[in-house]
Structure 1
Amino acid sequence: MKTSTILTHVTFLVAAASVAHAQDSNATATIIAAATADSIDLTILNIFDTAIAEIEDVYDTAPITTRNVGRIGRRATPDNIVDVHAHFVPAWYKAIYPNVGGSEVPDWTMAAQLAFMAGQGISRALFSFSTPGPNVYPGNKILTVALARLMNEQAAAYCRAYPGTFNFYAQVPFPYTTEAIREAEYAITKLGAIGIWVQSNTEGIYLGDATLKSFFQAFNNFSQRPILYVHPAVPVLRINNVLVDANPTTYIDGKIEFYFETARTIMDLTLTQTIHNFTNINYVIPHVGGAYPSTVDRILKSYPTIYDSSFAIYDTRFWWDSAGPTYAHQVSGLLGMGVPKSQLLYGTDFPYAPLAPQAGSLAAVKASPLFTADEKTAIFSGNVRTLFGSIISW
């Protein structure tokens, strides 16, 4: 088995130091032992055997010398694009959550991912699982905690197998804050996660909710620069203790509601002053802010005491990715807010945003008259280096 060889030779940068994951001649034993130490029983998940087989297979078959695979083949210009919004979709995850936002979850393979990156000129991708993250079993704490750990072990396996090509945002089992803090610490210090992925809402609880305050307090004080990736989720209402899709229209959530979800959760983070009170946390916001730029004055003019301070935070500790067809017109809303171009990042949302529209989205950034050539290069790679610094080994 190649597992021990890979685990012996591959290390990753965490807070400017190389931290090796616990090593074992068998990856399954190592993963189970770490989970058991945190009182997590992974075997209660009905997909455990399938998932662990995928993790073992990653270690067994990936080329240990692979580096910057996205540079292979025909590349778009500029070269060495960093995609900050990409998603893993192992088959076992699709099996337990086959539809999201009104659409079927796409098929995904590592081979397809690498081919996509080569064709787009992407040298590195920052990955996460997508919505709903570990919240496949609403109200079930034990399963949610176990699934978050298994997802993080899977993500770490991909990144170790392809060093220099992938990094990952970790999952945490919201709304269970004690367990979320523990999982964030484990994922960052042991697995090499570069930040934490959260949804706009979890079971109807938005990010500024008081029940999540302890997580923000703890995360704010992490030794590694705390970076929170905020991904839109399906809006829900709790009716008779049952979660119901709250989309009032006939249009699928992924087309429209996800953008409003982003606006809702930024509003909540702002009006609860979560972003003001925890001053170390940086936020990565997809789809250039969704609907938020169009609503920001309507929201904040009613709260004049935090109006200026909120904009100062959006301009410095918020980072806005381009995922989707957002650079034809939508990005102008961010610029109209006064967001500096230095806060803009490039993202694809692959494979949830399929291959067909990717060329147009990439071309729109390259052809935009709103940015100089140097500013476009910064969007593609320079700004993300500023955000992550030594967290990522460039």
Structure 2
Amino acid sequence: MRIVAIEEHYATPELLEATGLDLSWLPDNPHDRLLDTADARLADMDAAGIDLQVLSAVGPATQDLPDSVAVPLARRLNSGLRDIIGAHPDRFAGFATLPTGNIDAAVTELEYGITELGLVGALVNGTAQGRFLDHPDCAPILETAARLDVPLYLHPGVPPQPVLGAYYAGLEPPLGRMLATAGYGWHYESSLHALRLVVSGVFDRYPGLRVVLGHLGEGIPFHLARIEDMLTPLAHDLERPVSSYFHDNFWVTTSGYFFDGPFELTRQVFGDDRILFSVDYPYSDNKRATTWLRQLDVDQDTREKLAHRNADDLLGLR
């Protein structure tokens, strides 16, 4: 069975230096695995039975950097990603990095990444210098993704400083940091981001826009019935019920969420055609993820959809 994993991160020394990203506080520091896009990574993929990773620059990538750094760095990352893919075209594909602090440059980079470099979409890490993607300034990014017919992967980002101060202050630093991010906080930041896209009418303006959420939908499957009850009666300007946009414009991945109960709920809400396998490498373990995929209580046709067919269709992978 072919297995494609689509939320799989990498870094370059230049990116880590520019962002000052320090991962040493994590229990299993992924620093070296992020930097390896050849031998060790491929060996890890082989050991777990993963055929192809869709690579994305580790967050926050270039989004919080000044234009003078972010714009040229995004170009170097995307051009370098093309070279990584070119060295192993049967093992890697890639999402473009966008310098979203500069909308014109982000649009240029999205066009360049898709049309010139052959990348399969773009990954955005949370808010862009305090703006959600439903902000009017960000409309050209959404329009371009819809026109190019490529998805945007809406990945979590570190909460803005006012949110960190209000919600996560007063805790021991490693614990508070984890609570603010992978432990809880950024999943709900991402679900809020997705809901803002819906209720602001983004998908009425760009009905072909496709968005991917990680972590089994960032909590949306659990809350969607309540969301429908509470928001749709007030969303007078929308063309359709709130829940219908999640069924039509969103896909979700398994990244970091290898749990049978949440998976079954996600199946009920989104359906088998909208779920894509992901690991969240190197933050999650390849072998744990593929072992879970192989033991899922689903028929083989469904397992093939999850493992590769849905990703093949969404991203044009063959």
TM-score range, shorter chain: 0.7 to 0.9
8 Å Cα contact 2:111/2:144 also seen in 1 = no
Match in the other structure for 1:75: none
1:205 partner SS = coil
Correspondence for 2:82 among 150, 156, 161: 156
- Tell me how far apart the structure 2 counterparts of residues 289 and 142 of structure 1 sit (CA, whole Å): 34
Count, aligned residues: 300
Alignment CA distance shift 1:141-1:244 (3 Å): farther
C-alpha distance in 2 between matches for 1:130 and 1:388: 20
Mapped contact 2:146–2:206 kept (Cα < 8 A): yes
Instruction: Return the offset for 1:175.
Output: 2.8
Q: Does the residue aligned with 2:51 lie in a helix, a strand or coil?
A: strand
Query: How much has 1:312 moved relative to structure 2?
Result: 2.8
Change (3 A) 1:174 1:157: same
Tell me the equivalent position of 1:299. Answer: 227
- Picking from 312, 315, 321, the partner of 2:253 is 321
Any stretches of 5+ residues in structure 1 without a counterpart?
Answer: 1-78
What is the aligned partner in structure 1 of residue 266 from structure 2?
A: 334
Counterpart of 2:196 in structure 1: which amino acid? D
The CA distance in 1 between the partners of 2:195 and 2:140, in whole Å, is 19
Question: In structure 1, which of residues 83, 87, 98 is the aligned counterpart of residue 21 of structure 2?
Answer: 98
Which of the two has greater helix per residue?
A: 2
Aligned with 2:248: secondary structure? coil
Does the alignment pair 1:120 with 2:48? yes
Cα pair distance change 1:162/1:247, threshold 3 Å = farther
1:292, distance to aligned residue in structure 2 (A): 2.1
Instruction: Measure, in 1, the Cα distance between the counterparts of 2:200 and 2:25.
Output: 30
Query: Could you say which residue in structure 2 is the equivalent of 1:70?
Result: none
Give the number of the structure whose residues are more often strand, by fraction. 1
Q: Residue 387 of structure 1 corresponds to which residue in structure 2? A: 314
Q: 1:92 to 1:179 in 2, by over 3 A?
A: closer
Question: Contact between 2:217 and 2:266, CA under 8 Å: does it hold in 1?
Answer: yes
- 2:252 and 2:31 map into 1 onto residues whose CA distance is 24
- CA shift in 2, pair 1:102/1:319, >3 Å: farther
What is the TM-score with the length of structure 2 in the denominator?
0.86
Q: Which amino acid aligns with 2:21?
A: P
Task: Give deviations 1:168-225, integer Å, cap 9, x for gaps.
Answer: 1001111321111111111111111111111221222112122211222233222xx2
**What residue is the counterpart of 1:367 in the other structure?**
295
RMSD: 2.4
Supply the AA of the counterpart residue of 1:350.
Y
**CA deviation map 1:22-67 (0-9, x unaligned):** xxxxxxxxxxxxxxxxxxxxxxxxxxxxxxxxxxxxxxxxxxxxxx
**Greater Rg by CA:** 1
Contact 2:232 2:241 in 1 (8 A): no
Superposition map of 1:170-209 within 5 A:
170-209=96-135
Map of 1:234 onto structure 2: 158
After superposition, what is the alpha-carbon deviation per residue over 1:274-296, rounded to whole angstroms, capped at 9, x for unaligned?
A: 12321122112111111222233
Deviation at 1:101, TM superposition (A): 11
Q: Which amino acid aligns with 1:93?
A: L
Matched, 1:131 2:51: no
CA distance, structure 2, for counterparts of residue 364 and residue 164 of structure 1: 24
Correspondent of 1:278 among 206, 211, 229: 206
Is contact 1:216–1:278 with CA below 8 Å preserved after alignment? Answer: yes
The 1:324–1:101 alpha-carbon spacing in structure 2 relative to 1, beyond 3 Å, is: farther
1:344 is the counterpart of 2:275: yes
Tell me, yes or no, if the aligned pair for 1:87 and 1:351 is still in contact at 8 Å: yes
Letter of the 1:98 counterpart: L
Q: TM-score, normalised by structure 1?
A: 0.70
Distance 1:175 1:187 in 2: 17
Query: Structure 2 regions of 5+ residues with no counterpart?
Result: none
- Kindly indicate whether the alpha-carbon contact (under 8 Å) linking 1:259 and 1:290 is maintained by their aligned counterparts in 2: yes
SS of the equivalent of 1:206 reads coil
Query: 1:101, 1:254 within 8 Å by CA — same for their partners in 2?
Result: no
> Cα distance 1:190–1:327, how it changes in 2: closer, same or farther (>3 A)?
same
| 8 A contact 1:204–1:235 mirrored in 2 | no
Contact 1:177-1:212 at 8 Å conserved across structures: yes
Counterparts of 2:258 and 2:239 in 1: how far apart (Å)?
26
* CA 1:131–1:204: 2 relative to 1, 3 Å: same
